[in-house]
Structure 1
């Protein structure tokens, strides 16, 4: 009998909003890294479709979510300009779970404890689908970028 997959907040929210998606699962107990490039190979999709979710702060409870291609780095100066802040920095990994409800490597742009201002890199806007974390390591969501952005009130901007 197949093991039932526990739904994450991200999956529940996608379903509540009646957004079409596909759940992609991959092995996490094989000793391989769980970086984005390795994960793209595990799920059988080119890395250009796989995105990571990063959280930055401008200090004093001002948090922002950035969704960028796994092979790219968030440009902190570009991102700060887009959100109208002088300077931003990445939050500490130790603060991620308490702030978002997600762990490093399993952070999804949807379903966090709070809805933070969310920005997707413009490279996603032209794709038919993108792949992001479904809220835990070993689980990804394949979803249309415009649908995902709408679900988390996200905007598209040049941030890499």
Structure 2
């Protein structure tokens, strides 16, 4: 059996000696988080998507929200001390993060951007996030994710 190719996200966790579970699945192109969760049998409320936004200041921010929810841009901006934040263009994802759409992980981006996890993640010991490529999800302890990404929890989703 071929050994799984490590992604930047996995290497980052390995360097920090964080135990995680990898869930590869068959997928040729971008699918949304709900379909990804279905393919690996992960609970929706414990599965999170990674969104990258640009603030008015020109800085980039990473928001990790439940797959079934939408980010509240005002709350997200407030969480990072910006007047406003907007989604980056799909064409810019690879250039900014080093990842492709559907494979964007909060771990191991080209540069360390501020990371905010929705407060709902605090209800779980482990959460599911993208593993850094389409077709790979990682189940990682939340405490380790917060530490490795230097992230924080905040209410950043629409009610």
TM-score class, shorter: over 0.9
Give ranges in structure 1 of 5+ residues lacking alignment: none
Cα-to-partner distance string for 1:30-89 (whole Å, 9 max, x where unaligned)? x8x611111111001111111000000114540100000000001001111111111110
Matches within 5 A, 1:139-154: 139-154=136-151
Per the alignment, residue 93 of structure 1 pairs with 90
Q: What CA distance in whole angstroms lies between the structure 1 residues aligned with 2:97 and 2:42?
A: 27
Residue 157 of structure 1, aligned match among 132, 154, 157: 154
**Matched position secondary structure for 1:113:** coil
Per the alignment, residue 43 of structure 2 pairs with 46
Per the alignment, residue 84 of structure 1 pairs with 81
Normalising to structure 1: TM-score of the pair?
0.94
Per the alignment, residue 3 of structure 2 pairs with 4
Per the alignment, residue 124 of structure 2 pairs with 127
CA RMSD of aligned residues (A): 1.3
**Matched position secondary structure for 1:56:** strand
CA contact (8 A) 2:57 2:82 kept: no
Normalising to structure 2: TM-score of the pair?
0.95
Give ranges in structure 2 of 5+ residues lacking alignment: none
**Matched position secondary structure for 1:135:** coil
Cα-to-partner distance string for 1:100-127 (whole Å, 9 max, x where unaligned)? 0000100000100000010000111120
Per the alignment, residue 23 of structure 2 pairs with 24
Q: What CA distance in whole angstroms lies between the structure 2 residues aligned with 1:64 and 1:123?
A: 19
Residue 64 of structure 1, aligned match among 61, 67, 80: 61
Aligned residue pair count: 157
**Matched position secondary structure for 2:129:** strand
